Amino acid sequence: MKFGVLQFPGSCDEVDALKAARRAGDAELIWHADRDLGGADAIVVPGGFSYGDYLRAGAIARFSPAMESVIEFAADGGLVLGICNGFQVLCEARLLPGALLGNANLRFTSRQVDVEVLYSGGPFTRACGLGERLSIPAKHACGRYYADPETLAAMDAGGQLVLRYAEGENFNGSVHDIAGVCNEQGNVFGLMPHPEHAVDELIGGSADGLKIFESMRMSVEAARA
């Protein structure tokens, strides 16, 4: 099982994502200008400030050659995880519904947050229990998830609202306390908190983030069996 981790100019969390993915399987970096995904079984679009976050976070990265291949990969059912800036890129690419807006508190905020697993049946959370709380760091200025009410109702009915901030943890003002969502097919998932920074209790505050990468490994292996 091999993860491919994208790297844009301005990415800053791709090495942590690579190291986290290597705890669950093999992993290689994919430079943004490269259309070849190197035979990866799953893709991670990492956090950072791709292309300097100019215009809107993720707006320019979305058109990179590697992302064009990721869009095709996702259309074929491949697993794609977007973390923080990666979540913004996936929304801009319309692989995920909704958009991420400036934090309601107007601040870049960095803190450990508790999120609750609302849907544990999908490929990104199958190693988690339903309702389980994960302790994961978050650090961003544009993490306020927004989608219109009709879209939210459809997402709720379809099990697409995967993670929500626990009570009192929604510092960015996301609608319905949403922290992570998946697409209708369930193979593309984005979240604002950083599971790749929480894979080691000694330095991550918890190892809860590893469950996301483990879930992806289990899903790829189950699809092969």
Partner 1 sequence: MRARVLIRPKVGILDPQGVAVERALPALGFTGAGNVHVGRLVELDVENPAQLQSMCERLLANPLVEDYEIEMLG
Residue 160 Cβ vs partner 1, minimum distance, rounded to whole Å = 16
Please count the residues of the chain. Answer: 225
**Residue of 92, 116, 169, 196 marked catalytic:** 196
128 a catalytic residue: no
Q: Which is nearer to partner 1, 104 or 222 (CB)?
A: 104
* DSSP per-residue letters across the chain: -EEEEEE-TTB-SHHHHHHHHHTTSEEEEEETT----TT-SEEEE--B-GGGG-SSTTTTGGGSHHHHHHHHHHHTT-EEEEETHHHHHHHHTTSSSSEEE--TT-S-EEEEEEEEES--SSTTTTTS-TT-EEEEEEEESS-EEE--HHHHHHHHHTT-EEEEEPTT--TT--GGGEEEEE-TTS-EEEESS-GGG-S-HHHHS-STTHHHHHHHHHHHHHHH-
* Residue 140 binds partner 1 (CB under 8 A): no
Residue from 146, 158, 176, 214 that binds partner 1 (CB under 8 A)? 146
* Residue 144 binds partner 1 (CB under 8 A): yes
196 a catalytic residue: yes
* Residue 154 binds partner 1 (CB under 8 A): no
Which one of 16-24, 126-134, 144-152, 156-164 is the stretch in contact with partner 1 (CB under 8 A)? 144-152
* Residue 141 binds partner 1 (CB under 8 A): no
Which one of 9-17, 20-28, 104-112, 182-190 is the stretch in contact with partner 1 (CB under 8 A)? 104-112
**Residue of 14, 84, 92, 116 marked catalytic:** 84
Which one of 40-48, 52-60, 162-170, 209-217 is the stretch in contact with partner 1 (CB under 8 A)? 52-60
Positions marked active-site: 84, 194, 196
Give me the residues that bind partner 1 (CB under 8 A), please.
55-56, 59-60, 63, 92, 98-99, 101-106, 144, 146-148, 173
